Amino acid sequence: PDELLQNTTYFKQLQNTLQKQAKDELSEALAISPKILLKEHIDTWSLIWQSGFSISRSLAPSVMNGDVINRTIYYVLCSTPSPLYDLNLEETQRNKFNQSLFQIDQCYESHSTLLGDRLWRAPGDDLAVSQLSLLWRSTLSKKGCTTLM
């Protein structure tokens, strides 16, 4: 009984903390002008696409096309937190994250992700986007690509 009470108290405190954090973060996000937010979103994605981080259209028959791959990249990255863009991130931590992106590791030496039909679905709603993002993060994590996340 004592242990149950401690767990209940702990979970109630945790719930209150998380609710306050979510409320504070949502208030902060809602304070941003929609026009500014849209401009930042467009500018960021323009830089990503201009960097060459995309797949061009293929004319080969029965090949997954660039539009499917690029759409998936867009949905997954838009729904995945990016600590690099956290406004409260300390500069030393930001530098550490940046360096980790260029570390050569044994990232993904498994079956081709192009063969996984579930990885390339067009999400129809927010839940489907969330599930697709979770599937990608899980796939990459299981194959040793945690530095990319």
Q: Which residue has the tokens 């009984």?
A: 1
Asked, for residue 25, whether it belongs to a domain, the answer is no
Whether 120 and 72 have beta carbons less than 8 Å apart is answered as yes
Asked, for residue 22, whether it belongs to a domain, the answer is no
Asked, for residue 48, whether it belongs to a domain, the answer is no
Is the four-CA dihedral 40, 46, 51, 52 of positive or negative sign? positive
Asked, for residue 107, whether it belongs to a domain, the answer is yes
pLDDT at 5 over 70: no
Neighbours of 14 (CB within 10 A): 10
Instruction: Write the pLDDT tens digit of every residue in 129-144.
Output: 999 999 988 888 887 7
User: Distance between CA 60 and CA 36 in Å, rounded?
Assistant: 40
Asked, for residue 75, whether it belongs to a domain, the answer is yes
Asked, for residue 131, whether it belongs to a domain, the answer is yes
Instruction: Write the pLDDT tens digit of every residue in 26-49.
Output: 998 889 899 998 998 999 888 888
Alpha-helical runs (H) found in 31-148: 34-50, 66-78, 91-100, 126-142
Secondary structure percentages of the chain, helix, strand, coil, to 5: 65, 0, 35
What residue numbers bound the domain in which 81 lies? Answer: 67-148
Asked, for residue 89, whether it belongs to a domain, the answer is yes
Res 105: pLDDT = 61
Q: How many domains does the chain have?
A: 1
User: 90-99, 102-111, 136-145: which range is least confident on average?
Assistant: 102-111
Asked, for residue 7, whether it belongs to a domain, the answer is no
pLDDT, averaged across the chain:
82
User: Distance between CA 80 and CA 29 in Å, rounded?
Assistant: 16
pLDDT at 103 over 70: no
How sure is the predictor about 68, in pLDDT bands with cuts at 50, 70 and 90? confident
Whether 137 and 149 have beta carbons less than 8 Å apart is answered as yes
Burial class of residue 101 in the structure, from the number of CB atoms within 10 Å of its CB (0-12 exposed, 13-18 middle, 19+ buried): exposed
